[in-house]
Amino acid sequence: MGYVSDMSETNRKADLGELSTGELVSQLSAQVSHLVRDELRLAQAELTQKGKRVGIGAGLAGAGGLLSLYGLSALVVAVIAALALVLPVWAAALIVGGVLLLLAGLLAVTGIGQVKRGSPLTPDEAIASTKRDIETVKESTKR
């Protein structure tokens, strides 16, 4: 099988030598169009896959967050009840509420900082492949 493909490659090279410049340019245009379409399909597939992963991850994180909210609510009630043994209930609730709001603010500021430093959702493989293709075309035109 390797011999047959070698022969067809040899025939193709011989055929290219016989083609006019216009025909070669036409073939180049068709091949570049095909390459660009393939790269766009690759980018679309990569972004679709990443998007699905992000969606599933966000759903799982949301479910975990909801369950942790219920657990934290129970713990907050327990802390208020414990403080109510030595303080009036309203004072215990006020102290616990203030501490929770302070922690929420710190977490929000830290989270916003992390999001800003995060990388954008880009099709890295498609970009790298396109750069390689461009370099290959540049090298072959220099010959």
Q: With 60 as the cut, is the pLDDT of residue 65 above it?
A: yes
Would 38 be classed as within a structural domain? yes
The lowest-confidence range among 2-11, 80-89, 93-102 is 2-11
The number of folded domains in the chain is 1
pLDDT band of 118, cuts 50, 70, 90: low
Q: Please state, in angstroms and rounded to a whole number, the distance separating the CA atoms of residues 69 and 96.
A: 15
Residues in the chain: 143
Please give the model's pTM, rounded to 2 decimal places.
0.43
142 or 45, which is more confident? 45
Residue 68's domain comprises 23-142
Would 4 be classed as within a structural domain? no
Amino acid 29: pLDDT = 87
